Chain A
Amino acid sequence: MSGVPAVEVDGVSKNYGAVSALKPTSFAVPNGQYFVLLGPSGGGKTTTLRMIAGLIRPTTGRVRIGGRDVTDEPANRRDTAMVFQGFALFPHMTVEQNVAYGLELRRLPKDELRERTAAMLRLVGLTGYEGRRPSALSGGQQQRVQLARALVLQTSIVLLDEPLAALDATLRKDMCFELKHIQESVGTTFIHVTHNQEEAMTVADQIALIAAGTLVESGTPRAMYEHPKRRFTAEFIGENAVFSGPSSEGVLRVGGVALTVSCVEPASAISVAAENIAMHRQRPDLEQALPGTVVDVFYLGFTALLHVEVDGGPAVPVRLPSRELDVGIKAGERVWLSWDPGHARVHMA
């Protein structure tokens, strides 16, 4: 059993008439993993999640849950539960009735039903709110009730569709930690959709980046951040300076500078994390230093973020410890950028 993935998405696609929301996509989610579908809005990640849930039917491909093909089963006959972005609590029921709704449909004995409902409300920290209506709860509390309503069913998979998007930034951060804790304590497979990379990095064991209807890349948060394989990943996750342009014979030209690319095949771009770029106020004694002009300086607390427009190239982010601003770097200043060649990542076409 342990060898069978919790969810297998096998060549699944979705078209609305002539519009393609998701091109044929395949991935598998191992049991007990916190899996995040990350990507810009309209990229197809929510469509993917809803096809796993059984709320929409794939145009092509199969969905398997616990090894069983459920493509033709509607949501109520799948071993999944779901948390929505908002407005999904039943306003005519109390918190307790909301959480118990799925158990009632399963005709559980009354005492077991009460017991499990109470245990779930305790888990999400809402003991004492049983009799309230959803309209009398804050946004964060509403999402906790939704989580309890999903977890109480003890399905093997819990799906979360932008569960934190409607919350304000501080609350979102706290709820992220809490979601991760809860997932670890119950051990259920979570599949979580978000457009927020910080949220994804915090909770995920594994991230799948979906954009423009295709699965761009997947991996652990650390791998995606430090060693993005695709150029889009480098642009979407973290802050990276991306230099594109055709390369030939291991050289990529930016302005007048030839950057060595440690790859024999033609690459489409290289990227360097903003924090790995060194900035010099005098021309350094290096072959591959890119001259440029500081455009913006943002003070962000521990670090500072600069935008530097490279001569004949793009504007790129540079992150420095804030104390390096003490020398008085201002917009308009001429600077040179360089990095350890080991930090440059090559992206294929």
Chain B
Amino acid sequence: MSHDYESRWVYRAKWTYLLSVVGVLMLPVLYTLWISFNANGFGAAEYDFTVFWYVELFNNAEIRTSLGWTVLIAAIVVAVTAPMGVLAAKFYQGTQFKVPFVFLMLSPLFVPADVTAAALLVYFKNLNGLVDGLIGVELFDLSLWTAVAGQITWCLPYAFVVILVTMGRFRPEQTEAARTCGADAWQAFWQVEFPQIRPGVFSAGAFVTILSFNEYVRTNFLKGGFDTFPTYLVSYMLNTGMTPEVYAMAGLVSLVSMAAIGLVLVVALRRRIV
């Protein structure tokens, strides 16, 4: 392309700008991470490296419980969303109404989290009253499951897109070849197509894990009487202000996310799916 004749310095300057924007976006996170390992906390004149604040976190039973809920929700959300992403991508390939379907699937990205969450909250409260009145069971009382449903609406668009892109590289001739070899529709999918889109499904699963792990707004509205790690972190921060424990909690979330995204990138680059 045109970069062959572009001044190398201009080219480098552009790259520098790109990377520095990424840097600026990451800087606050890295900065808090740095603070979180300081024994003297934020604003101190001296820096003494420590993992003390992190150890403190794990000594806190409430934090351990909230981490447990976070992991449980993330596991359920991934287990549901990744297969749903595959189904959605398959549906997309087969439907005549591609544009309306994609608009519907991607629209949760466009609606602010608190608007979706508030609407779902009122929806579940109404449904709960309705079902309770009909069969006497509080089926839609705010709980783990309402939080899971809220998170899935947020995660499914990402899973859908990632899997759809991977699926786009699969040649439909292979499904046909499998069918003419005697495979039924399910065998053709499971034995021929799925092994080839598996990296995409794994990436989608990893992204969904991160999204679920970090989700705050919807979870906070829709959860039952428990705390996940992000909701605990925010309420703790709003109560006590910026204590070293808050930095450590923030650091923990960032580290988990970064490890996960790093893993995805390494896998993706090695398999050349990006």
Chain A residues, Cβ within 8 Å of B177: 82, 84, 88-90, 146, 149
Chain A residues, Cβ within 8 Å of B185: 74
Chain A residues, Cβ within 8 Å of B176: 53, 55, 75, 82, 84, 88
A76 and B173: CB pair below 8 A? no
Chain A residues, Cβ within 8 Å of B187: 105
Take A92-B195, A105-B187 as given contacts and tell me if A87 and B174 are in contact as well, using a CB distance cutoff of 8 Å: yes
Chain A residues, Cβ within 8 Å of B179: 54-55, 74-76
B171 and A106: CB pair below 8 A? no
User: In the complex, which range does the number of interface residues on chain A fall in?
Assistant: 20 to 34
> Considering the complex, which residues of chain B in the window 166-201 have a beta carbon less than 8 Å from any beta carbon of chain A?
171, 173-174, 176-185, 187, 191-192, 195-196
B174 and A88: CB pair below 8 A? yes
Out of A55, A85, A105, which one reaches B182, CB within 8 Å? A105
Chain B residues, Cβ within 8 Å of A85: 173
Nearest CB on B from A174, distance (A): 24
> Considering the complex, which residues of chain B in the window 187-237 have a beta carbon less than 8 Å from any beta carbon of chain A?
187, 191-192, 195-196
B192 and A90: CB pair below 8 A? yes
B182 and A153: CB pair below 8 A? yes
> Considering the complex, which residues of chain A in the window 81-138 have a beta carbon less than 8 Å from any beta carbon of chain B?
81-82, 84-92, 101-102, 105-106
Chain A residues, Cβ within 8 Å of B181: 76, 81, 101-102, 105, 149, 153
Nearest-neighbor residue (CB-CB) of B171 within chain A: A87
User: In the complex, which range does the number of interface residues on chain B fall in?
Assistant: 10 to 19
Nearest CB on A from B167, distance (A): 15
Take A84-B173, A88-B171, A90-B174 as given contacts and tell me if A75 and B196 are in contact as well, using a CB distance cutoff of 8 Å: no
Chain B residues, Cβ within 8 Å of A53: 176, 180
Take A84-B176, A84-B177 as given contacts and tell me if A105 and B183 are in contact as well, using a CB distance cutoff of 8 Å: yes
Looking at A54, A85, A87, the one whose CB has the most chain B CB atoms below 10 A away is A87
A90 to B194, CA, bound (A): 12
Chain A residues, Cβ within 8 Å of B196: 91-92
Nearest CB on A from B173, distance (A): 4
Looking at B177, B178, B187, B196, the one whose CB has the most chain A CB atoms below 10 A away is B177
> Considering the complex, which residues of chain A in the window 25-57 have a beta carbon less than 8 Å from any beta carbon of chain B?
53-55
A159 to B180, CA, bound (A): 10
Nearest CB on B from A4, distance (A): 22
Chain A residues, Cβ within 8 Å of B182: 76, 102, 105-106, 153
Question: What are 11 A-B residue pairs whose CB atoms fall within 8 Å in the complex?
Answer: A54-B180, A76-B179, A76-B183, A82-B177, A84-B173, A86-B173, A87-B173, A89-B177, A101-B191, A106-B182, A146-B177
Given contacts A76-B182, A84-B176, A153-B182, 19 further A-B contacts (CB under 8 A): A54-B179, A76-B179, A76-B181, A82-B180, A87-B171, A87-B173, A88-B171, A88-B174, A88-B176, A89-B174, A90-B177, A90-B178, A102-B181, A102-B182, A105-B182, A105-B187, A106-B182, A149-B177, A150-B180
Q: What are the 7 A-B residue pairs with the smallest beta carbon separation, nearest first?
A: A102-B181, A82-B180, A75-B179, A88-B177, A87-B171, A88-B173, A105-B182
A interface residues, Cβ below 8 angstroms from B: 53-55, 74-76, 80-82, 84-92, 101-102, 105-106, 146, 149-150, 153, 159
B interface residues, Cβ below 8 angstroms from A: 171, 173-174, 176-185, 187, 191-192, 195-196
